[in-house]
A and B are shown apart, each in its own frame.
Chain A
Amino acid sequence: MRGAKSAKWVVGAIVVALAATACGGGSDSGSKADKGAVDPNGIFSVELGEPEKLLHTGDTMESNGSLVMSGLFSTLVDYKADGSLEMINAESLTTTDSKTWTVKLKQGWTFHDGTPVTSKSFVDAWNWNANVNNAMGLASWFSDIKGFEALHPEKEGAKPTGDKLEGLKIVDENTFTVELKSPVPAFGHKLAYIPFAPLPESFYKDPKAAGEKPVGNGPYKFESWDHKKQIKIVRYDAYKGPNKAKNGGVLFKNYTTIEAAYEDLKSDNVDVLRQVGPKDLPVYHQDLGDRAVDADHSAIQSIAVAFYADQWAKPKPVDVKVIQGLSMAIDRATITKTVLQGTREPATGWVAKGVLGFQENAAGDITKYDPAKAKELIKAGGGVPKNAITIQFNADGGHKEWVDAVCNSITQATGVKCTGDSKPDFQADLAARKNQQVKSMYRSAWSLDYPINGNFLSDLYRTGAAGNQGGFSNKELDAKLAAAESAATLDESVKLFQEAEKSLVNYMPSIPLWYYKVNAGYSEKVSGVKYDQAGDPILTGIEVKK
């Protein structure tokens, strides 16, 4: 008996020793991998939830579907990490006035079924996606194009009067022009988004079947979709784009929880994670060593004000100083470090990092923690009505902890009573926002659609914008945003948006909290794992070791 016991101790010691050497050897194995021993046909697996909808280019907006689509379809352009454009399916994209754009396609591209990619493939796809009868969720992305209203009338239940966007003209097999209603300097960047991808002829025969088994023009072709279990895509060898896959294919594996996926990563059953769960965040650097990822991600968390709520609207609209004061009462540095375990970075403006036109410290002093100044501002603004606020959030998203922390911070600094207003799930949270039932303030988050600062400003704070759910409306700001949106050049547009962002301090439509980060990891089997601005792994660049 005694012998057995001590044997166990010895085994324990060996395990510890092995673990120690494994950690020390981590960097060595990295350089070994660089020398080669890469299997160009190797297939790796990525943790991915079941896509919510059919894989339609015009309807894939959640992250599970869009990662698959990014492998299956290539758009005209893509953007690099610095926000500049890279030509993919387009040979060139030219405009003189940001109003009429000429697209020239690269020659010889084919869809995965062998049919050629022509200008018609693009024009037909855009017309189909924009048509209200097809009820595509991303249809509004075509609203810049002349003649959009004919296909997509704004009024509920109205029938479309045409089936073609007037602004699209096919010049020849490989050239087409796009005429916009007014100059949109950011239009080139918007073209990188998935609804602008081309569709093959076979799509229109049975769109539903095509959504189950998409045929695209991207670096990977679709192989199989075993619902709620896995999706497999394999390299398309005839692919002509610059982003050819360095691996043989991707297996997207479905997990019930991110914790389960993390366990499988540790036991080498899955290769790439998109996210590490809150439970494992404190240990994942230790567990994975240099395979732990900590990257920037262009998304921002903020608290938006429900301006229609009695508290802020009656008897007179709230003084902006009150909201500025509340912002200064939040100790972002401490909360991100402790409650959020360093997975977020305190925000200093309304635009997330990693997009064109991001500016450090755009919000000035109001994102700095200063209890004395906060109290002063709130007093000068006439105080918070009833001296109490609530922050609405959805309980199913892991937000309770930080909402409580933010509330504590506000109460401690200013004496304003603050409580979380928990909705059971995201659906209920959205419904309350849509029906204007938010009592005071609500949690709001925004992740980029295209990497230009205007995406974080115009889509959130313009009067009546889809993302503007707090009823914020200001004529001065609307004018500034409109000017920026229709500036002649991209540079000018970005600059005007920067000015608009700086002026947001005077309106305080929301209180910026922090920027998101990608906290993920990968297995020993793969290398070259990088993440894009949307927080997704870049599939084509990943190499599989032999």
Chain B
Amino acid sequence: MNVTRRDFFGLAAAAGVASAGCGRVARRLAGGQQPDAPLPQGDVRPIARFLNRVAFGAAPGDPARVASIGISAYVDDALMAKESEDPALQVRLASLDVLNLDALELSDLKEEAVVRQLQQAALLRAVYGRNQLHERMVDLWTNHFNIYSRKHYGAYYMAVDQLKVVRAHALGKFPDLVRASAHSPAMLNYLDNQVNRKGVPNENYARELMELHTLGVHGGYTQHDVREVARCLTGWTIETRFLHPKGRFRFDPGLHDNASPKRVLGTTIPTVKDPAAEVEWNGQRIPAGQLAGERVLDILANHPATAHFVASKLCRYFLGGEKREWVDRVASIYRQTGGEIRSMLRPILASQELLDSPPIAKRPFDFVASGMRALGAETDAGPAVLQHLDQMGQGLYEWPMPDGYPDKVSAWTGSMLARWNFAFEVATIGLRGTQVDWAAYGGGVDPSDRAIERFLASKRLPNRGLYKRLNEHVQGMEPERALRETAALCLASPEFQWR
């Protein structure tokens, strides 16, 4: 280290104050606090805020890149990028069986191992994925179409679901996403549609399809619609026959309820002559009985309530709220483009609203991924890290309910101790499978500024108290220890829990 400790913090504090801006300070002080459940107020640095929303926080080099090309160009790049799994990431993922074997081959592995590998893959992608926006959308849709991996050995179908449903359509068209999900063995298994058959309909999937995946609970459907949708989807199951490719989608005409026409949201879906006879549909040949379910998916995907519901979801995820003007604007893009996710995202991501909107609490997965990125850590995302996620309450694919991990700050306030323990372990004690190159911070002119900029990219300004405390804390410490403890305290601080 070629700077003194005094320089280290003195410069950082000065930089913080200088960029705060008097107008912002005044607004902040005049604003006061809401009496109930106040959210932290005040300004954040625009680039830090942007990267916390569009990416899993800032990794080394990111802020400089955004600064040089600008937010708008960054958004365009992210929206146009085709392949999110760059070669470097593929090397990291190469050893994971869950990404290389199909469900049947995976059955040699224990469920526990499959779930762990799935979690590992997700974390590696979030930390190292080059197209961070894509990983953000994977996080959003994985929760939107939540599947509990422990139900009925669902873990074995999950890798395919992630690949063919969530990742394949993350930035594509929402109707394609819903349709892929409806055909996904993981979903058929999780929400029991594989046992939905004529005479004994199982409404589980039909209900969640409308309530959680498309229309939303106030989307205007009735119990009658639930029943009719369930009837339309009878026979949508998972292949189990001898000498057939097991574990794939199958329409079983023998299980399909073709007894009478169904009526879904005001549309009549007629019976067919022979549910097993193949018909042409969207360039494919499918059994005629399967058409009823496909028509339901058309009806739902084209319903205005779905446009509104999906728009709300996107606004809440990226803007931290559901301002009516924004939801209406995004919903109208859904309707105009037939649910193009890219088109809906573009105005949101490049907006001033994103930079000015209220803060959003990081879920544990977000916290860990952004912590790793802030440190520029080299991690295997293995058991030692995943255990921390378990303790915070977000071991991935472990949420039993179909609604996905909650996004409310109130749901996660119990995870503070576990967050602190992660911060201290990764930065000071050492975490198995994870290394941080502390020496890399020492080479430049001003390591402290870079360190704080990186660790606390979400820093609210002004927060001179933080600098004061950190300054006091490292008095008399040798440089690497000062750096490690600064990093630990930054990650554990209230500021780092928000995005």
Partners in one complex: no
Which residues from chain B sit less than 8 Å from chain A, CB to CB? none
Binding site for B on A (CB under 8 A): none
